[in-house]
Amino acid sequence: MIQLIVFLPLLAAIIAGLGNKALGNVPAKIITTGALFISCALSWPIFIGFMTGGYEEGFVVPVLNWLQSGSFNAMWELRVDALTAVMLVVVTTVSALVHLYSWGYMDEEPDQPRFFAYLSLFTFAMLMLVTANNLLQMFFGWEGVGLASYLLIGFWFRKPSANAAAIKAFVVNRVGDLGFMMGMFATYLVFGTISIPEILNAAPSMAGSTIGFLGYRFETMTVICLLLFVGAMGKSAQLGLHTWLPDAMEGPTPVSALIHAATMVTAGVFMVCRLSPMFETSETAMHVVTYVGAATCLFAATVGTVQNDIKRVIAYSTCSQLGYMFFAAGVGAYGAAMFHLFTHAFFKALLFLGAGSVIHAMHHEQDMRYYGALRKEIPITFWAMTAGTLAITGVGIPGTLFGFAGFFSKDAILEAAYAAGGIGHTAFALGIAAALLTSFYSWRLVFLTFFGKARWAESEHIQHALHHHHESAEEEGDSHDHHHHAAHSGTGGYRPHESPWVMLLPLVVLSMGAVFAGLIFHGAFVDPEGGAHFWEVSTLFFDEHLMHESHLVPMWVKLAPGAVMLTGLAIAWLAYIKNTDWPARFVAQFHVLYDFLLNKWYFDELYNAIFVKPAFAIGRFLWKRGDEGTIDRFGPNGMAALVVAGGRVTRKLQSGYLYTYALVMLIGLAAAITWAITR
């Protein structure tokens, strides 16, 4: 079963990719989408089996003897345990729905087989990552999702901004991957194996040992874990290596939902949780994970409050939610971290696909300032995005079973952080501040998009697209059928139109996940008293004591997330519904702060000054002075110049007169005779 789950997407990607236009759009979509739905259908029984205790322990399925050199041996094996089961349902469910959604969203794209092949290739790489039984196989999947991400972000390769975003994502992730590789090499050096079970079993015995690194002695496990965490920071867009994620929105919206919301960016969280026994041996590494996660959580939330591009708001929201997962892992609440990863996959994919439906209705206009009053025009999309917003903001009542997905998972993280004490209190405070900002920017998105007055006439892009479509329809003699782009209104203008059913069906399914996933599965992830005992059959380190203590935190800790959620909602309602002049007045009053946030804390400008410009300067110097000035000058160009100069000299000896050549021959003959006589 697990072999089919993993390799069906690869087979579909090969068929669609090689068949391409010869295969045709519809067959390519049927093959890739069908393969993903089969993988999804096979994944859920495995997940339910672990959740209900049907599987008493994990199992490993060998594929082949991959690499062997001396004492080094890397088997290609598929590991299935509780942690893998969570990722299987997340990856296959979201990917299957994204494939179906793309039938409608990419309907006018002429190169659909290539797009669907890339989607399936990405899914295969992600499944390879989460089923890895050794670090090399994990790294193979790690690099595979990086490659697929590059291809999908730059899918519209004729668009310069898409190419730039793809290159940026690729380069920034290479920085993180260097840390991952060094951590993997150090792990093999210390443990003599890359088998994950063997490493985790031996990790506690290495606590307190030291290793030489960069000329100094450091704690062995601290060095290894921090190097591995650098890889996680790059893949999961944590503070410092986060700059690629917002730019990745240049890719098609289904790509954002699949890669940058629900799957690839969670790979770092998965890796930290998978290797948690290693991280537990180093207090320093755990503190670094906590601080970086908490700082990212707050940073991304502050930037999300001022973004006007609907996809960028959700992108920074992703970055912030990943911060929650990391600081949960940093304080030892791995069950809560994976629970939030699980619920986040549903409501964040829902928000991205909902945003895609809005963009689709608004002729690819992504600026929310040109939206407004869309709730009556695209009602299904409105209710779906409302469900996603209720989930991400954590709407629910503490102590009851009423609550959306984010209420159960995010509150579990905050309560566990507070219960952990010490550094956990700092993470809790930053998490509460981020929750306030999350509520504000999430409801700001809803109010700007679906409420207020219709501002479509203010967008030249929308009006040009709508009028162009109307004229084209009239020329074809079909002015009443405007497909899914626009509908003619009685006032002489044009109105957005709801998306086709292949786009709406995934929204409905994901909405159910956003509403019920937390309620149904919270006992399996974070309740040690629950009957499922989900983590008892996992290799994951599970701090049952911490989870028990998190249920005993003071009532104000339980009420704080709800209080800040209502505060953020109230501020957004006052600023964007009741007193719509407030945002402009705020910007005028605090323009320095606004510019600071709008420019994303100037990270891009800082990196441009520190890394990009010096790199270009060095490149130009080596090009002009090194390559052209030295190598070319004294190499090929120098030799060519020498030949030309020699040619000029010898050309003067070629007079064209017979007596001149006879004289030269006579001189040569005399010289030869003289040499022969004098030998």
Query: Burial, 542: exposed, middle or buried (Cβ in 10 Å; 0-12, 13-18, 19+)?
Result: buried
Spatial neighbors of 588 by CB under 8 A, at least 6 apart, are none
The predicted pLDDT at position 230 comes to 94
CA distance linking residue 490 with residue 35, whole number of Å? 45
Q: Name the pLDDT band for 529 (thresholds 50, 70, 90).
A: low
CA distance linking residue 280 with residue 525, whole number of Å? 19
Cβ atoms of 191 and 199 closer than 8 Å: yes
The predicted pLDDT at position 461 comes to 60
The two tokens of residue 516 are 């019920």
- Does residue 542 surpass a pLDDT of 80? no
| Range of lowest pLDDT (6-10, 67-71, 107-111, 229-233) | 67-71
Residue 540 CB-half CA count within 13 A: 31
What tens digit of pLDDT does each residue of 173-232 get? 999 999 999 999 999 999 989 999 999 999 998 888 888 877 788 899 999 999 999 999
Query: Burial, 581: exposed, middle or buried (Cβ in 10 Å; 0-12, 13-18, 19+)?
Result: exposed
CA distance linking residue 430 with residue 659, whole number of Å? 99
Taking alpha carbons only, the member of 188, 180, 358, 399 closest to residue 270 is 180
CA distance linking residue 317 with residue 300, whole number of Å? 7
Taking alpha carbons only, the member of 342, 340, 327, 346 closest to residue 412 is 340
What tens digit of pLDDT does each residue of 138-158 get? 999 999 999 999 999 988 888
The predicted pLDDT at position 428 comes to 95
Q: Name the pLDDT band for 467 (thresholds 50, 70, 90).
A: low
What tens digit of pLDDT does each residue of 436-446 get? 999 999 999 99
CA distance linking residue 357 with residue 349, whole number of Å? 12
* 350-362: average pLDDT: 92
- Does residue 167 surpass a pLDDT of 60? yes
Cβ atoms of 405 and 518 closer than 8 Å: yes
* 151-166: average pLDDT: 89
Backbone angles phi, psi at 78, to 5 degrees: -105, 110
| Range of lowest pLDDT (409-413, 425-429, 469-473, 578-582) | 469-473
CA distance linking residue 263 with residue 129, whole number of Å? 11
DSSP state of 13: H
* 224-249: average pLDDT: 90
The predicted pLDDT at position 489 comes to 40
pTM attached to this predicted model: 0.87
What tens digit of pLDDT does each residue of 360-415 get? 888 888 889 889 889 989 999 999 999 999 999 999 998 888 899 999 999 999 99
Q: Across the strands, what pairs with 78?
A: 61, 132
Q: Name the pLDDT band for 459 (thresholds 50, 70, 90).
A: low
Tell me the residue type at 280: E
